Structure 1
Amino acid sequence: MTGKNMKRGGLNDLRKMKERGETNPTVNAEPAPELLKGFWDDAEMVNRTVTKEPISLRVDADVLEFFKAQGKGHLTRMNAVLRSYVEAQRSKTHQ
């Protein structure tokens, strides 16, 4: 990884950065829109055998806990939800 925001340092450097508030996220994302009641009622789990891309993703703590509470495989389920959304959006644009 490289980039203008990349920094090198040891654990003590990180602790000092944290004290100065330099490790806080700087992204001010808009909150996600509320979904209509029953939005996921007809959702189906779809297993796909495609190459996965590793990423870092920030999600709301309650969303993560919801998926984790369903047991092992929470990341797979989260991907399935995203896949369902992508396919629904694609079908809207190809009609």
Structure 2
Amino acid sequence: MRKKSATDWKRLEQARDADIDLTEIPELDDTFFEQAQLHVPPKQAVTMRLDADVLEWFREQGKGYQTRINRLLRAYMQMHQQRHS
């Protein structure tokens, strides 16, 4: 990480599960997981032209660079969908 974390890691390590306030985020029980469904959008192979330096930078980040590009494009899409809805 480039920025120093403001998290009090020592206090967090010493905390017990029973100390966690779940009033706004209740724990997920077995019923939730029995009814949960995974929705993965289908992938479609495309050919697109990217600037060579952009593609090289993503490739330098290692395995999964296409997934990272997809995530960035999805975040951009969702941001614009929220602005226009």
Specify the TM-score bucket, using the shorter chain as the normaliser. 0.5 to 0.7
TM-score (norm 1): 0.47
Q: Which 5+ residue runs of structure 2 have no aligned equivalent? A: 1-38
Q: Does 1:67 pair with 2:58?
A: yes
**Which structure has greater helix proportion?**
2
Name segments (4+ residues, structure 1) moved above 4 Å: none
2:40 pairs with one of 49, 58, 71:
49
Take 2:81 and 2:48, find their aligned partners in 1: how far apart are those partners? 22
Aligned residue pairs total 47
Q: Percent identity?
A: 40
Take 1:63 and 1:91, find their aligned partners in 2: how far apart are those partners? 27
Structure whose CA Rg is larger? 2
RMSD: 1.2
Q: Which 5+ residue runs of structure 1 have no aligned equivalent? A: 1-47
TM-score (norm 2): 0.53
Q: Which has the higher contact order (CA 8 A, sep 6+)?
A: 1
Provide, for residues 32-67 of structure 1, a one-character-per-residue CA deviation record: whole Å limited to 9, x for no partner: xxxxxxxxxxxxxxxx72101111010000110111
